[in-house]
Structure 1
Amino acid sequence: MTQRIDVNSLAKRLKDPGVCVFDVRFYLEQPARGRSDFAAAHIPGARYLRLDENLSSSIIPGKTGRHPLPDPAQFEALMRRNGINHDTLIIACDDGPGLFASRLWWLLRWLGHTQVKILDGGFKAWQAAGLSVTQETPRPVAEGHFVAHPDHSKLIDAQEISQRLDDPSLQLLDARGPARFSGENEPIDPIAGHIPGAANLPCTSNIDSNGFWLDSQQLRTRFEPWMATDIELVSYCGSGVTACHNILAAIEAGLPEPRLYIGSWSQWITDPDRPIATGA
């Protein structure tokens, strides 16, 4: 079953009370822009969630990455306030590539809510299709009965990765771009490079030039080195956000779901005893 929905299919279900759209547009360099863009125009009925306020918890300097997981109880309460029930179909939408929508998609699955898809092409595709937008504030809804059931088997921590760096049955996939992976350029974190043994699989190559996801066969080609193996895949990035994009892509390619290293590079480098690699 695909993890995506196209804009026309969503448009047909937009008035379905069992469907909820969450707009998670966000820009790391301009954190307030996503909310202002949402206020200017959004899909009718959509509700806004912000990465650093709603889809993450507070950073603990020297211990966590830049975007730690939200507290399950607080996230459960947030979903309930937005009318989410166990059978609500949630559509995650960002400005197009799915880089932030995939974080919400993963969070919900981690907490036991599998009725979630991302909008293929995001808000840009919605607008390009000439579908209606609004500036209206979403109406209050009756409180939902969503219950969070965290599945920690979907996660892997730095300690286990450190212990298995030489384990051939574990393969780390780094979702960042080649320049950050190699250590040639690091615009965000204080130390450049990657976790030793990781393979670079930039998440931005999961989509085409128009911002739409590659089809399943094209994604299988991207994951070809691991398609016919029993190697366990682990996805990481800079802070555990875009790593979720590669997890979704792996599932669409037909692979078992990779585990997520939520702390990612920004946590790995907090311990000077952890090894660092550079180069391709």
Structure 2
Amino acid sequence: MLVSTAELAQHLTDPAWVIFDCRHDLMDTAKGRRFYQESHVPGAHFAPVDTALSGPKTGRNGRHPLPKPETFADFLGHHGVTAAKTVVAYDDVGGQYAARLWWMARWIGLTQVVLLDGGLPKWVADGRPVSAEVPRPTPAILPARLSDRSLWRVTEVQKRLGDSRSLVIDARAAERYRGETEPLDPVAGHIPGAANRFYKANLRPDLTLRPADELKREFTALLAGRKPEDVAHQCGSGITACANLFAMEYAGLPGSNLYAGSWSEWVADSARPVAKG
């Protein structure tokens, strides 16, 4: 699930590896592309979060709704991805955007998908090369074969409210979860019954992922006997939720679900309950 900077450096010219730069900023949505154009891992393609990793917004389906599986498969195929290739994703903030690409690639049936541990900051700190050259893709045909990777729609979340056997894990910062501040969405608070685990709790100071045994111990305590299959991850818009989902799977707790609409979809309907504190 993870690749080190040393291992990726050995595969920079390997045609069987396809690299994606997923850098993004929710407050400055053009920043990721600007940074990519300035420098990136040599050979990496840019994966824009607002288009390639998201679908059309309706005003009721959240800030980053999933695109159609076929649309995402076409994006990856345009950049040369096939089922036989290894896909590597990275960003510069500990994997929250890269994990979204990882989850989506697995969602459409790919299995050889990894994150660059520590992302671009670790790559640069280790003295690896960067480039401003934009690679020319060699397109391939990639069909979308939806895997059994699970999604919870908003109706599923509503149905499970109050069910002690189920759990929603909110990946947002604690002050947003508690409803003390909300910089992005019109309503502050959290889904009633949701537990809070800020996705950065999974990271070391250098943005590499913490050891699997530590993560397993902490997630197991949070689950309190629940099965991963009865857990859904959410955040503001279904992005950082993927980082917690990735960490759980890396820790040996596979099978949890993504609530892709997340908080921004939840509060689009004022009839849905909101908790604070």
Bin of the TM-score, shorter chain as denominator length: over 0.9
Deviation at 1:230, TM superposition (A): 3.0
Change (3 A) 1:148 1:14: same
The residue type paired with residue 181 of structure 2 is N
| Deviation digits for residues 36-71 of structure 1 (CA, Å, limit 9, x no counterpart) | 11111111111001100110012101x200000012
The 5 Å alignment of 1:22-61 reads 22-61=20-59
Equivalent residue number for residue 267 of structure 1: 265
Equivalent residue number for residue 167 of structure 1: 163
The residue type paired with residue 164 of structure 1 is R
Change (3 A) 1:228 1:253: farther
Paired residues of 2:106 and 2:149 also in contact (CA < 8 A): no
3-state secondary structure, aligned to 2:100:
helix
Q: For residues 234 and 132 of structure 2, what CA distance do their matches in structure 1 show?
A: 36
Paired residues of 1:121 and 1:212 also in contact (CA < 8 A): yes
Q: For residues 123 and 104 of structure 1, what CA distance do their matches in structure 2 show?
A: 16
Given the alignment, which residue of 116, 133, 136 partners 1:136? 133
Paired residues of 1:220 and 1:227 also in contact (CA < 8 A): no
Equivalent residue number for residue 218 of structure 1: 214
Given the alignment, which residue of 16, 21, 26 partners 2:19? 21
Change (3 A) 1:97 1:153: closer
| Deviation digits for residues 92-132 of structure 1 (CA, Å, limit 9, x no counterpart) | 01114101000000000111111100101101111111111
The 5 Å alignment of 1:53-132 reads 53-61=51-59, 63-132=60-129
Equivalent residue number for residue 238 of structure 1: 236
Equivalent residue number for residue 274 of structure 2: 276
3-state secondary structure, aligned to 1:90:
strand
Paired residues of 1:157 and 1:263 also in contact (CA < 8 A): yes
Equivalent residue number for residue 185 of structure 1: 181
Paired residues of 2:165 and 2:226 also in contact (CA < 8 A): no
Deviation at 1:140, TM superposition (A): 3.3
Q: For residues 116 and 149 of structure 2, what CA distance do their matches in structure 1 show?
A: 26
Q: Give yes or no for the alignment of 1:205 onto 2:198.
A: no
Gaps of 5+ in 1: none
Deviation at 1:80, TM superposition (A): 1.4
Deviation at 1:227, TM superposition (A): 7.0
3-state secondary structure, aligned to 2:51:
helix
Equivalent residue number for residue 194 of structure 1: 190
Q: For residues 29 and 214 of structure 1, what CA distance do their matches in structure 2 show?
A: 27
- Aligned sequence identity (%): 39
Q: For residues 23 and 133 of structure 1, what CA distance do their matches in structure 2 show?
A: 12
Paired residues of 1:96 and 1:120 also in contact (CA < 8 A): no
Paired residues of 1:96 and 1:125 also in contact (CA < 8 A): no
Paired residues of 1:96 and 1:212 also in contact (CA < 8 A): no
Q: For residues 106 and 147 of structure 2, what CA distance do their matches in structure 1 show?
A: 8
Paired residues of 2:19 and 2:89 also in contact (CA < 8 A): yes
3-state secondary structure, aligned to 1:223:
helix
| Equivalent residues, number | 275
